[in-house]
Every structure is written in C-alpha cells, then in structure tokens.
Amino acid sequence: MQTLKINGKKYQIDVEAEMPLLWVLRDDLGLTGTKFGCGIGECGACTVHINGQAVRSCSFPVAAAVGTKITTIEGLSHHNKHPVQQAWLEEQVPQCGYCQSGQIMATAALLAKNPKPTAEEVEDNITNLCRCGTYVRVRRGISRSAELMRKQRV
Amino acid sequence: MKKQSFKRRTFIKTSTFAGAGLALGFTFVPLVNSATGGRVSVSGEKGAELGLWIRIAPDGTITLIAPSSEMGQGVNTSLSMILAEELEADWQSIKTETAPVNSDYKNPEQPMQLTGGSNSIKGFWEPLREVGAAAREMLITAAAQKWGVSVGACKAQSGYIIHQKSSRKLGYGELVEAAGKLDVPSDPTLKAPEEYSLVGKPVPRLDLPDKINGTAKFGIDVRLPGMLFATVRQSPVFEGTVLSHDETAAKSIRGVTAVVSIPNGIAVVANNTWRAKKGMEALNPQFQDGLTKGLDCQKVRKQFRKALDNKGKVELDSPKVLDLEYEVPYLAHATLEPMNCTASVTDNFCEVWAPTQNQEMSLDVTKEITGFDEDQIRIHTTLLGGGFGRRIEIDYVTQAVTISKNLGKPVQVIWMREEDMQHDFYRPASMSRFQISLGKNGLPEKWKNQLAAPSILKRYFAPLGWFGFDPTSTEGAKELPYAIPDFDFDFSMVDPGVPVGFWRSVGSSHNAFYIESAIDEASHLAQHNPFEYRRKLLAEKPRYLNVLEKVAQDAKWGRRLQKGHGLGIAIHKSFGSIVGAVIEISSNTSGRLELHNVWISVDCGKVVNPDIVRAQMEGGFIFGLSAAVGEEITLKAGRVEQSNFHDYSVLRMKSTPDISVSIIESGEDIGGVGEPSVPLAAPALANAIFSATGKRCRSLPFNKHGVKFV
C-alpha cells in the first residue's frame, strides 16, 4: 500500500512502484483532468505539480511521488480563481481544451518561481504541445497571468 | 436576404412532454423522403425527444441539442448564439448537449450526420434562426393570451415576455406549458441584422470554464462502473494480419484480463491503461503481409512521377516559361487526445461514448457488429480533443464495440501515441507539375497544371476510383480565381495503398501550396511585385481583391524591410471563405530562419462570433505552419517510420509567430472558418523564404529540405 497526498487529500493505493503517476490519477483515482498525450514526456498534457514543480506525470513513477505534495488541475483553485485560469478565460485561450490542463499547470509553476519571466524564459519553459494552435493566446495568457499575480500580491 | 427556397424545405415540429416544457425541432422534408434520409430511421415519432433541437424547461433553462461535434472550433457557442439571438434568450440560461444520431440533425451541407467541411454555421444558420424565432413567437402568444392583450403589445427580451404598457413580465419557463399547446408558426419573422445583440459580438465561449479546471469530459475521460481499459496493436504494414502472439505472457501481467482479436490486430484488456500497455508489450504480437508490404517513399514518389510522365508536358513557345515540379508528404493528424472510444454492450443494448465527428457511421458500424436495431443503440458524442478530420473515421468505434461485445463488459479502448501515429488516415502525399508561359505583359498566358494524388473519397464510394474523379483531391487547383486565358488542369489518381483521409482543409492543404507558390514564381520571373501581380490577375474579382488589399495594407506591404527579412503573400479560397496571408521572416547570420509576424484577412461572408473566427484563423494557420515547417510521415518496408512527437515534429510556442487577423464582413454567403486558413501557411512561408533568401522550396516540409528554423 502507498499513500499519495493529492490536492490536500490522502489516497491509499496499491499499485506497481513503476506505474506512471498519470495512470494512477486517471484510472485508479478518477482524476481525469490530467491528460494522456504521448507517454514519453514530449507533449506536456499530463503536467502536474510535485512539491510545486511542474512534472510530466506520464514519465514519473508513482513510487517517486509518495511523500510529496501533488497538485493536479482539479486542485489548482476553487471556482477557477487561480490567476492563470482567470487569464485563460480573459484571453479565451482554449479551443479543444485537451492540452490546456497541462499548459495551465506548467504556467502556474513557472510563475510561482519566476513572477516576471522574459519572453525567452516563457518560451523555453512552456514547451507543451497544442494541436489546435492556441500558442498565440497561450503567450498572451501567460503575460496576463503574470500581471494578475502581481496585482494580487500588492 | 432570407433564402426562401431553403425555408420551404424546413418543417418545424413541436413536442411537449410531461415536466419537460417546450421542445422544438425541425426536419428537412425532402431528406426524410430520400434514400439517404431514410437510413437513420429513428424518428421523432418513436422517441419524443429525438429530432428536437431546443428544450425550454419550466425553470427557464434553454438547452440546444447541438447537431455538431465540439472539437475546439467553438461550435457549441456559435450555434447557441444564433438560437439565442432569435429567441431573445438570456445568454446565461443557455446550455448545450450534443445530439444523438438522427437524420433530423444531419447538416444539410453534408451527405450524412457528421461534423466536417467547415459546414456547421453554413448549414445551421438558417434553420436555427427559424426555430428560435418560432419559439419566441409562441412564447409571446402564450403570454398575450394569458394577459388578454394583443400579441403586438408584447415583446421578448432576455428570457422574458414583457407587456410594455403594464410592465408585466413572465419568464420563458413560466410560459412553456401554455406555449407548447400552440400551433407552430409557419412563417416566423426573423430579426433584421441591425437588431442583433449577440450575433456579431465576441461572446465568451460557453465551453471554456470547464476546460480550465479539468472538468471538461473528453472521450478518454468516460468512466463507467466496472469498466476495463484496452489498448490495441494493429499490423504496422497496413492491413496485414496477426501471425503470432504470447497470450500467456500477457496474462501474467498484473491486472490483464483478456486478449481479444480486432480487425487487422489484437487488443489487450486490463483494469488500468498502463497495465494494458504492459500486457501488450508482453503479448509481443507479430504480423505478416499487408497491402503496403515493401513500400517506401521513393516508390510512392516514383508512382506519382510515372503518372505525370504518362500525361506528358505541354511545350510552350514563349521567351518566359516556367517548368515546375512540386511535392508534399503524407501527414498525420496527431490529435492531442489519442484515438479512443468507450462501449458497453449487453445482451440487448449497446451504448457508445465516442469523441467522434461521425455519428452516423458510428451507429452503422455498431449495428453491424452487435446485430442490434437502432433503438437498442445509443451513441453519445463526448468532447473531442482535436478532430482535424481524423475523427470522421470510425476505426476506434469498431474496436471498442467489438471488444465490449466479446467480453460483455464496458471497455474503454485507448491507443498509445505510437499506434495513433502509425495508423492514421493520412493527408495524402502528392506531386504537381506546372508549365506556365508569360505574355508580353508578364502575366500568365498559358497555365498547364498536372496533379498526381491519391483519392480519399474512393474508400467511401468506389466508382470514383474507377473514373479517376475525386473533388477532394483537386479542390483549390481545378479552378483558379486568376484571369488566365489558357488554363488547363489535369488530375491523375494514384493509389500507393497508404490509408488516406480528410486532413484539415483536405485538397486545399496541398493545392494552395502548389498554386500560390507557382503564381509567386511567375511574378518573380516577370519581375513583378508578387502582391501587385496577384492584384492584376484578380482585377475582376472584388471579394478576392478586398481580402488581398486588406492583408497587404495590414502587413504594410512595400515598406523597407530590415536586412535579412522577407515577406511572403498568398491568397486562397476554400470552404466558401477567402483568406489572405502575409508572413514576415528573417534569416539570421547562421542561416536559420525566424518567423516573426503573420497577418491574415478573411472574408467569410457573415460573422457569428468574431473572436471564434479569429481563433480559427490563428489556429488553422499554425496547424498549416506546423506541417510546412516540420511534419512528415515517411514509409520504410511498408510501415510508417514515425512513432511519437520526438520524431514527428510539431510546432511549439517558441517557433510560433505573432498573428493578427482582420475580418471583412462582406455580407455574402456564409463561408466556413475551421479550415480555410490552413492552406495559406505553406505557400506564404515558401514565398517569404524566397524573398528573404532567394531559395525556392518546392517540397515540404521545409526543415527536411534544406531550410533550418530557429
């Protein structure tokens, strides 16, 4: 038996140590907001936070997640109140929406440690794939998120 | 402006049922009588709700039974806007559900109930307005009768009927019972465009709040009690068969419960997707034979070249001639949500949850596999994590229903990305030749174009293959807007055996690259400015001219460019909309290209939601750009070489230019917006590369053919 702490809640599970966290979340715990896109850490659709760091959960064994603080898109905020979610609505970023959990989680982690990233830092850090082509709006969403976070801090 | 001919075909029907309030729908009378209309025989008479389009509940909630799949194109929002506009509904009270399979939901622009061809607004604009207006008039009549006042003294506003003199008002929910007993008006009065309060406004999308917190449900998110997870392996050589596999090894993996045969392959079923994947690795299926055995890209290219050689070239007698050969590769859709479907087959009923663009074929194949009647089957369309034409196919539905029927349990089939990449219905590779001669004025006098390409449609309708005819292969090249005195286009159907399908913008995805590159080459040979050259050739086409001039103006065409910079321009009409694009790029000192800015202008006739139009123009262009820069499916020994995003290179944010969009509201017939910006990216970029570097790229993708990007 392993214990995972996800979104502030404890879950008891009994799975193979090497099972990627993604499949524990989706298939065993029903937290389907985290998406499967490639299984090799290329696309970022499965991004979650482990102790505040953005991690691609399709390539992260569950054993390594035991004892950490895991946050998924479901636990990012109540009622879409996180500044990244707010900015995403303001800029009307998503189209199909499938990659957006990952885009939002990656952005939230970046801005938490670097509240004022340069354009280059943004582009080097947010490498999540989007097939609908929302990148222009993701970029705007990120800079709007940073603005909203700064306002909240003041 | 209302098309009377269309209206006469529309028949609005009504239904009230206990506690559900007022429900209205419409049907297309001629289709019901026709052979195709009769295919889906579940009709309004059988089930009270089927075929109905809106429900107004006693609590005032208005539900649009959306006839299109929501795959990111914002269709749930834009269709709701059309309905809410005529209904004078409170926008906050609108909800959407995706329609079940029923011929009444078929888009009049499509041969069957599917979402594609950028047709949703085009097909549903008129009928949705009529349904909305009819419901509004019925609610007004119900209120007027209740108050004993004239209909003319009442008006509808934000979900209420108001008696203006007395300021009395009643909510729609309070009126539905009475309204449901009234006759449906045969000729409801539609609002004039200047009265619109929603249509034409950048209304925020209805589906986005759920798409930013993980609650939006895609196909892959369906969860049923006792549901199992399956993954599949199909013959890597297309249509080969399973030679051997190790079932004992598969079943020794924890959680694996079954191994099931599927068409051209095999499935492993487990209580968790990852365990199914481990089980598949242990199963280690081996395959034999197949349609494309021994095929590679050189052989495909040879087949195209041979077909074109057989057609021969035209000899041109002019001092200025072009003799060009262009080609494009196969492309994958690579929807970010991999192919998946969930099915639950019991002894006498089957439910299917599919992220599909094709409800009708999903029903047909489910009937075939289960042997059930239509009333024993329910097809639920979930949200789609991207469609792009891939989900017009129903292979994943076939598999889910097959496996669930075999096990008698609910099963979700999920493809690993490797399977998705290697078993697509690819954008066809093709080759195109031009012999063009220029007249004394520098403009093309003769334009001879030969295209060799596979047919997409012959898989659906074999006779097209016999006659070598397929409009989806030739669209965008067969007819040009340019005034060219001697124009000739010839199509050779070539079938290398690789499965091909509808890839966002279909034939225009390659033909616009060919045509708009060739015309650019002609302009440079004539030593004309590529914008002015097109302008001259479009002098008699005012809509094209407006689009072209607008995009050139936005891009400040003709300005002095920084050293190493280049501008490329292109214009193309597809799916009823004309799109122009200019891209600015630069070549840095190490010869790498950087993409800076894109300007797009679009004339799609009428605009329902300008922000959605913008989003589709941006997204479509990026989709095309991604393919032009780096996407390519190659074949070796009859199988696809690429397997995941590490070797199928998709554009990321870092390489994406900024994009600005101008919308021209011409008021002409409605055009689509989901696809028409895709075809512009490749030629605009090719023309910009020539402008910046002097290098002319005649095959895609550019980064595999000598061009490097930042």
Domain residues of chain A, as ranges?
2-75, 83-153
pLDDT at B31: 33
**Nearest Cα to Cα of residue B23 among B179, B188, B185:** B179
Which CATH number describes the domain made up of A2-75? 3.10.20.30
What residues form DSSP beta bridges with B17?
B21
Q: Between vectors from CA A25 to CA B231 and to CA B229, what angle results, nearest 5°?
A: 20
Write out residues 608-627 of B within 8 Å (CB-CB) of A. 611, 615, 618-623, 626
pLDDT at B149: 97
> What CA–CA distance (Å, rounded) separates B613 from B205?
12
Contacts of B194 (CB under 8 A, 6+ apart): none
User: What ipTM was estimated for this complex?
Assistant: 0.98
Q: Are A45 and A35 in contact (CB under 8 A)?
A: yes
The CATH fold of domain B430-704: Aldehyde Oxidoreductase; domain 4 (3.30.365)
Chain B residues in contact with A30 (beta carbon < 8 A): 223
Is B274 close to A77, i.e. CB distance below 8 A? no
Chain B residues in contact with A92 (beta carbon < 8 A): 204-205, 208, 611, 615
Per-residue burial over B94-118, b if 16 or more Cβ lie within 10 Å, else e, is bebebbbbbbbbbbbbbebbbbbbb
Give the sign of the dihedral formed by CA A97, CA A73, CA A84, CA A117: negative
Confidence of residue B2 (pLDDT cuts 50, 70, 90): very low
pLDDT at B610: 98
Confidence of residue A2 (pLDDT cuts 50, 70, 90): very high
Is A129 close to B71, i.e. CB distance below 8 A? no
Q: Which CATH class is domain B4-211?
A: alpha beta
Is A96 close to B336, i.e. CB distance below 8 A? yes
Give the single-character DSSP code of B440. Answer: T
Write out residues 352-411 of B within 8 Å (CB-CB) of A. 383-388
Q: Per residue in B642-658, pLDDT tens?
A: 999 999 999 999 999 99
Average pLDDT value over all residues in chain B = 92
Q: Are B551 and B580 in contact (CB under 8 A)?
A: yes
Mean pLDDT of B284-296: 97
- Tell me: pLDDT of B35 over 70: no
Per-residue burial over B508-540, b if 16 or more Cβ lie within 10 Å, else e, is bbbbbbbbbbbbbbbbbebebebbebbbebbee
Q: Are A99 and A131 in contact (CB under 8 A)?
A: yes
B72 close contact with A: CB closer than 8 A: yes
Of A97, A101, A127, the CB nearest to B652: A127
Write out residues 195-214 of B within 8 Å (CB-CB) of A. 204-205, 207-214
Mean pLDDT of B473-499: 97
Confidence of residue B127 (pLDDT cuts 50, 70, 90): confident
pTM more than 0.80? yes
Sheet holding B430-438, edge to edge: B321-328, B430-438, B444-453, B486-493
Structural tokens at position B235: 């013959």
Which CATH architecture describes the domain B221-290+339-414? Answer: 2-Layer Sandwich (3.30)
Write out residues 51-70 of A within 8 Å (CB-CB) of B. none
A55 backbone dihedrals φ, ψ, rounded to 5°: -135, 140
Is A40 close to B644, i.e. CB distance below 8 A? yes
Distance from CA of A109 to the nearest CA of B (A): 15
- Tell me: pLDDT of B523 over 60: yes
Most distant pair of Cα atoms in chain B: their distance = 84
Best of B205, B220, B274 to substitute, by most chain A Cβ atoms within 10 angstroms, is B274
What residues form DSSP beta bridges with B52?
B25
Confidence of residue B674 (pLDDT cuts 50, 70, 90): very high
SS3 track for A45-64: CCEEEECCEEEEHHHCEHHH
- The single residue listed with the structure tokens 């090719």 is B686
Is B417 close to A74, i.e. CB distance below 8 A? no
- Tell me: pLDDT of B33 over 70: no
Mean pLDDT of B633-637: 98
Pick the range with the lowest mean pLDDT from B16-30, B216-230, B650-664.
B16-30
pLDDT at B1: 34
Treating both helix axes as pointing N-terminal to C-terminal, what angle do B610-630 and A135-153 enclose, rounded to 10 degrees?
Answer: 120
> What CA–CA distance (Å, rounded) separates B418 from B232?
11
> What CA–CA distance (Å, rounded) separates B372 from B370?
5
Best of A38, A104, A129, A134 to substitute, by most chain B Cβ atoms within 10 angstroms, is A38
- Tell me: pLDDT of B17 over 70: no
B223 close contact with A: CB closer than 8 A: yes
pLDDT at B351: 98
In chain B, which segments carry CATH 3.30.365.10? 4-211, 221-290+339-414, 430-704
Is CATH 1.10.150.120 the right assignment for the domain spanning A83-153? Answer: yes
